[in-house]
Amino acid sequence: MSLALRGTTILGVRAGDRFALGGDGQVTLGDTIVKSGAVKVRRMEEYGILCGFAGSAADGFALFDRFEKRLAEFNGRTQRAAVELAKDWRTDRALRRLEAMLAVMDSEHTLLISGTGDVLEPDDGIVAIGSGGNYARAAARAFLAAGWDDPARIVRDSLAIAADVCVYTNHSIEVLEP
């Protein structure tokens, strides 16, 4: 599943029992690039989770914090924390105004969390959000179909392809593995 927010591309890929999540570093304000090396993915070490955001940076960081609090509350159970965050996001007046999305991966789950209350788990183990998400997802699917089995390499090369086509995505790529 890929949903578009202008300003970044986040891609997560699962290949066998391995997974990786990455994102580009471009930050835009309208049609202007204001930063090229932002980091929009992070490890939640305590839980073995990788998380990335697309959308407003402040909103993305607020969601990271809320998600981490929910993880602590539910003893690191990713799906439960994601569902509770999505419920909060949908029902809380302040949270409803947040303009960001989260991509979350752990050893078992690949999730997309949106402000409309969605917690989606793609069938193919690929999650893509942001303006270049569809390009990165298509490239990742092609690499997997070609037999590639290194999720970090798939994420890096797919994001590079997205950066070549999407003006809101750049080549300052950060890729995380657990």
In whole angstroms, what is the distance from residue 6 CA to residue 17 CA?
A: 31
Strand order, beta sheet including 119-120: 41-44, 49-55, 100-105, 110-113, 119-120
Helices (H) and strands (E) in the chain, counts: 5, 12
Buried b / exposed e across 70-83, counting CB within 10 Å, b at 16+? bbeeeeebbeebbb
Cα–Cα distance for residue pair 9/47, rounded to 1 Å: 24
Of the residues 8, 9, 110, 169, which is catalytic?
8
Catalytic status, residue 8: yes
DSSP-derived 3-state class of residue 110 = strand
Q: Which residues are catalytic?
A: 8
